[in-house]
Amino acid sequence: MSSGLVTSRRNRRTPYTECVESLGVSGFSIVNHTLLPKSFARSVEEDYWHLKEHVQLWDVGCQRQVELRGPDAALLAQKMTPRDLSAMTPGQCYYTPVIDNHAGLLNDPVLLKRASDWFWFSIADSDLLLWAEALALGMNLDVEVREPDVWPLAVQGPRAEDLVARVFGDGVRSVRYFSFLECDFHSRQLVVARSGYSKQGGYEIYLDDSALGITLWDTLWEAGADLQVAPGCPNLIERIEAGLLSYGNEMTRENNPLEINLDRFCHLEGEIDYIGRSALEAIAAQGPSQRMRGLLIDGTPCPPCGKPWPVLVGDIKVGQVTSAIWSPAFRQNVGLSLIDKDHWNPGTPVTVLLPDGHELGAVITSLPFTVSSSTP
């Protein structure tokens, strides 16, 4: 592979890897011990405009599933997240922060409720399977915890609905955001969810038979020939503009959900019992010491943010940039940063220190970025 990445059974291929290789993938990352395509022939900016105007297929098989199934599946799912799951019904998807006993963020998956006793956590990059299994064993719960043979494939962009409807039928057009249908494909019932790691609209198809991976990809690819379908991957410009956070980049176990603006997904009134509740309630009572904010950064297109860049007010460090890139829409660099409480108000001027020693002026903004964000 041109990326130079040496793979082994520890770095798993997906059912779609052969497809993206044939279409010229030029780089991979590793998420959940699995290959994630990161680039193709287009530049990041060219890919950004294509994603916003057409439709793309993304190999996101790295979004592994942690399956809970059995009489105590709902109990274990609720123990794992501060989000209230009591009103969740089969066919719904919930964004669910998962925390430890200190309220440290272990993952921020999408939870799919397949049935009253059957759940999938579609996870970001951490070994959540081990945490779930340990809780089940420690609490002596009647639940099976496993990683099933399920491989998500994302269809993203404004023409995604047309493409998915051609393959799975017009019923997918009525699927609400963060809900799913089960659709027939080669004698299997696949979960087709209106979701995805972009704000351009789209679906995630949960293939539950890896042997059908190439068939699923080729079927969608051929159906999208007149829609300018292209291979793609999560786009850094689009995700920063949309305020979409990346576990391991913007937040880790050292952070709590309130710091990264997930308050609305945390039940803090005491009726719901979950791991880390007392710790999270104590943080809420005092208030978080930092918050995730956007940054509009001056200057020419910035370099890649391979390691955090200090954010300064005078000589005092008040935060760090975790992701940044030039935005063609805002004609400025845009970034994401955890900012200390006394400086997190939108409009606050700060300085960003680059690795080469250059200092760039910047201003704090709310998320997601909007047209008003760049208005003086």
Give the model's pLDDT for residue 163: 98
Task: Please provide the DSSP assignment of 197-241 as one string.
Answer: SSSS-EEEEEES-GGGHHHHHHHHHHHTGGGTEEEE---HHHHHH
Give the model's pLDDT for residue 77: 98
Q: How many CB atoms lie within 10 A of CB 376?
A: 3
Q: What is residue 88's three-state secondary structure?
A: coil
Please say if the pLDDT value at position 132 is more than 50. Answer: yes
* Mean of the per-residue pLDDT values of the chain: 96
| Domain covering 17-63+149-240: architecture | 2-Layer Sandwich (3.30)
Please say if the pLDDT value at position 2 is more than 60. Answer: no
Domain 65-146 has CATH 3.30.479.10: no
Please say if the pLDDT value at position 1 is more than 50. Answer: no
The model's pLDDT over 250-290, given as tens digits with 9 standing for 90+, comes to 999 999 999 999 999 999 988 899 999 999 999 999 999 99
More confident residue, 11 or 135: 135
In angstroms, rounded to a whole number, what is the distance separating the alpha carbons of residues 365 and 80?
32
- Letter for the amino acid at 228? Q
Give the model's pLDDT for residue 8: 75
Average pLDDT of the residues in 213-234: 98
Please say if the pLDDT value at position 360 is more than 60. Answer: yes
Give the model's pLDDT for residue 372: 66
Peptide bond into 288 cis (omega under 30): no
The model's pLDDT over 304-351, given as tens digits with 9 standing for 90+, comes to 999 999 999 999 999 999 999 999 999 999 999 999 999 999 999 999
More confident residue, 372 or 26: 26
Please say if the pLDDT value at position 376 is more than 50. Answer: no
Q: Are 272 and 78 in contact (CB under 8 A)?
A: yes
The model's pLDDT over 79-129, given as tens digits with 9 standing for 90+, comes to 999 999 999 999 999 999 999 999 999 999 999 999 999 999 999 999 999
Give the model's pLDDT for residue 271: 87
Q: Are 84 and 127 in contact (CB under 8 A)?
A: no
Please say if the pLDDT value at position 375 is more than 90. Answer: no
Q: How confident is the model at residue 4 (pLDDT cuts 50, 70, 90)?
A: low
Please say if the pLDDT value at position 9 is more than 50. Answer: yes
Give the model's pLDDT for residue 127: 94
Which H or E run contains 126?
none
What residue segments make up the domains of the chain, in order of their start? 17-63+149-240, 65-146, 289-376
Give the model's pLDDT for residue 70: 98
The model's pLDDT over 149-205, given as tens digits with 9 standing for 90+, comes to 999 999 999 999 999 999 999 999 999 999 999 999 999 999 999 999 999 999 999
CATH class of the domain comprising 289-376: mainly beta
